[in-house]
Structures are given as C-alpha cells and as structure tokens.
Amino acid sequence: DTGVSQDPRHKITKRGQNVTFRCDPISEHNRLYWYRQTLGQGPEFLTYFQNEAQLEKSRLLSDRFSAERPKGSFSTLEIQRTEQGDSAMYLCASSPPWREANYEQYFGPGTRLTVT
Amino acid sequence: GNSVTQMEGPVTLSEEAFLTINCTYTATGYPSLFWYVQYPGEGLQLLLKATKADDKGSNKGFEATYRKETTSFHLEKGSVQVSDSAVYFCALTYSSNTGKLIFGQGTTLQVKP
C-alpha cells in the first residue's frame, strides 16, 4: 500500500479554464475528504464522501466546484471557469471505516493549482 | 462556530531547546484533538491525538494534554532536533459527524544546529 496519491502534483492554468484533479485513496478506506490550503493557512474542509455518497459539502464549495467518487474508489474534483482566487493546494485524505477511536486521516501530497 | 487558534510563527529554536506551541479551541460538545505535522516537501502526517479530557497524546518525544477547563491542547517537546523543523497544525473533529477536521493556521518551527 503506497498511501494516498494525487494527480497531478502541479497544475498551471489560465483563468476561465476548467481543471480536474484525481485522488486515489488507500484501498479499503471508505471515507474520503477534500481540503483546500492557501499559503500560510491551515487546510479548510471542502467535501466528504462515504463510499460513493457525497455526505457533506462546505460553503466554500461554490457552484463552480464539483466532486465525484464513482464506485466508492478514486475521487475527482473539478473546478470550472477557474479564478485567480482558486489558486491553492488541494489536499485529499482518506480514512478506514468508522469505529471507536478511529479518527486518523491519511493525507496525499496535494495538487498545487496556480491560476494565471 | 468551531475553531482552532495557534500561536503565531515562525518559532526559531536552537537544537536541544524546549518547545511549546500553544493551541486553543472553541467548540460545542467534546471534540477530539490532534496535532498534524508537515515536513518540507511532504504531506500532512498525524503526530498525536487525544480523544477526551485529560488524555495525553504522545509520539516521537512530543506530548500534548487535552485540557477541557482551558480549552487548550499545547504541543511540547523537551529537546528539539533539527529534523523537527516543520509546520505544525492543531486540529479538532467530532466523532458524531463526518470526522472532518478543523485546522488552526499552522506554526512553523525552525530548529538551528
């Protein structure tokens, strides 16, 4: 098991373009999270999947953002009509099925998005 | 709402110095508390956790005690090493919801030889 992987690691795009990021969680982890981290700040929660169901979305996730997790395995995060304010590190994390005292999230290396 | 506040950085220490990074939280109910660490060029890693009041989390010489009366979870280490240089994040979550993490803004630690 190689941990959570994210692709691409870096993305530079022009304002107005659409971008899509992929996250591959640790196998058998049914919980998956997306966070956004801007420079000098802590990560902020964007959305949560349990298996293939998207159970929570942050108010940060505007209509231009959409996330999917078909078949409860990998997940994608798409940003349409990118804006300069979307420039950030996008982090994915996964966790095993919920059990008592089982809170750890395993983070991927992130995708750094730069919108020019 | 729920939030986490950490001391401002960067914190610069000499090797073998004592480390404290302050963390306080605002939350309803009884959250679980965490310290995550981000080494240069790497992803976030869980450093330690505490799930109820008076619990002490510890790992790699770091410790933090869940203080409900002061709503704090300060990170300490008795003797830091150059390899401890990283960004440290305090965070909380609730076991009754999705488990999403709420992070502080992070504190950069630089340890000089």
Question: What tens digit of pLDDT does each residue of B42-58 get?
Answer: 889 999 999 889 999 99
Indicate the residue type of B21. I
Exposed, middle or buried by CB within 10 Å (0-12, 13-18, 19+), for A79? buried
B1 confidence band (pLDDT: 50, 70, 90): confident
A36 confidence band (pLDDT: 50, 70, 90): very high
Residues of A with CB under 8 A from a CB of B: 4, 31, 33, 35, 40-45, 48, 50, 55-56, 91, 93, 95, 98, 100-101, 103-105, 107-110
A interface test, pick of B90, B97, B100 with most A CB neighbours within 10 Å: B100
CB pairs under 8 A between A and B: 61
Distances (CA, A) of B113 to A89, B9, B77, B84: 31, 19, 16, 11
State yes or no: pLDDT of A109 exceeds 70.
Answer: yes
Q: What is the pLDDT of residue A86?
A: 97
Maximal C-alpha separation, chain B: 44
Question: Cβ separation of B45 and A107 shorter than 8 Å?
Answer: yes
